[in-house]
């Protein structure tokens, strides 16, 4: 279990380094292909930073509203409150706000920029269909996302992806409309046109694939961290097994919030373009873990 946690942290760091390298490469390409130097890169970074701040401070509220989550009190659902409270005490982190989503699918998600500003939302389907140990495994997974600052990490990753898309577009526009006067001679150059087109097409795709890969690695990490918290990996394994058997898409799932959930809210999707690892692979790893 500890090996799994270490491995996932290392792979996430490698993917983040690769992501940053793509952004730097695009910035260099703009400087070489246009007369604007690094002005375009600076503008793109400033724009992405602004979008990151918006997501950082408002992302949780948007995610909860879009999923139809309703805040609940301890009196409204003492069973759910007690499980989360006990897990929070064990993990040594603050009790998050609790929400329930009116959906028959078995699912849950956590959001918040830090443990002190966190929320956990659970579907009615999870509360009704999971046993105590299974629900505990799911909630431990979500609390691990909070403790590992995964929401903050994915916010940064989304900003990097936005920067890549903007820079790719700038490379194309700067060539198509022409750079500053000293680069006018490049206009109409078929080689520069092809390079710009390749950057425009491939950079966002590469960035998206890296983003999805990081999201999948964080799911593995949350599985391992959650199992370490409960000391019972089989609980989460059984919950994932039920989710896989049902494969019920959520009614109010969106692409923007899909990576937050414990399982893909759209049902099955090709592994390369999935925000989550295959459920069977997660179950297999959990059942190989030992304490």
Which are the catalytic amino acids?
142
Length, in residues, of the chain: 291
Q: What span, in angstroms and rounded, lies between the C-alpha atoms of 240 and 137?
A: 9
Task: Reduce the secondary structure of 61-120 to three states and give it as a string.
Answer: HHHHHHHCCEECCCCCCHHHHHHHHHHHHHHCCCCCEEEEECCCCCCEEEEECCHHHEEE
Tokens 């948007």 appear where? 62
Tokens 């408002």 appear where? 58
88: Cβ contacts below 8 Å, ≥ 6 apart:
94, 95, 96, 143
Write the CA distances from 278 to 47, 126, 254, 269, 270, integer angstroms. Answer: 35, 19, 19, 9, 9
222: Cβ contacts below 8 Å, ≥ 6 apart:
141, 142, 144, 145, 148, 150
- Residue 119 structure tokens: 């929320």
Nearest to 133 by CA among 263, 32, 237: 237
- What percentage of the chain's residues is helix, strand, coil (to nearest 5)? 70, 5, 25
């Amino acid at each position: 279990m500890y090996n799994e946690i270490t491995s996932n942290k290392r792979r996430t760091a490698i993917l983040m380094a690769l992501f940053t390298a793509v952004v730097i490469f695009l910035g260099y390409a703009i400087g070489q292909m246009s007369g604007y130097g690094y002005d375009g890169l600076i503008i793109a970074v400033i724009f992405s930073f602004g979008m990151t701040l918006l997501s950082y401070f408002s992302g949780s509220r948007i995610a909860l509203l879009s999923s139809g989550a309703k805040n609940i009190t301890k009196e409204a659902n003492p069973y759910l409150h007690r499980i989360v409270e006990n897990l929070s005490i064990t993990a040594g982190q603050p009790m998050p706000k609790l929400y329930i989503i009116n959906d028959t699918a078995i699912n849950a998600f956590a959001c918040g920029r830090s443990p002190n500003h966190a929320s956990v939302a659970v579907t009615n389907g999870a509360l009704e269909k999971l046993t105590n140990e299974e629900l505990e495994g799911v909630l431990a997974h979500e609390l691990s996302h909070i403790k590992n600052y995964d929401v903050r990490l994915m916010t940064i990753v989304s900003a990097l992806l936005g920067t890549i898309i903007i820079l790719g577009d700038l490379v194309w526009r700067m060539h198509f409309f022409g750079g500053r006067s000293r680069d006018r001679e490049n206009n109409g150059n078929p080689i520069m046109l092809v390079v710009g087109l390749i950057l425009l097409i491939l950079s966002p795709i590469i960035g998206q694939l890296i983003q999805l890969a990081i999201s999948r690695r964080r799911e593995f990490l949350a599985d391992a961290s959650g199992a370490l918290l409960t000391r019972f990996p089989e609980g989460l394994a059984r919950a994932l097994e039920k989710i896989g058997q049902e494969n019920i898409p959520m009614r109010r799932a969106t692409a923007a919030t899909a990576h937050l959930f414990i399982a893909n809210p759209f049902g099955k999707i090709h592994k390369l373009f999935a925000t989550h690892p295959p459920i069977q692979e997660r179950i297999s790893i959990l059942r190989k873990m030992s304490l």
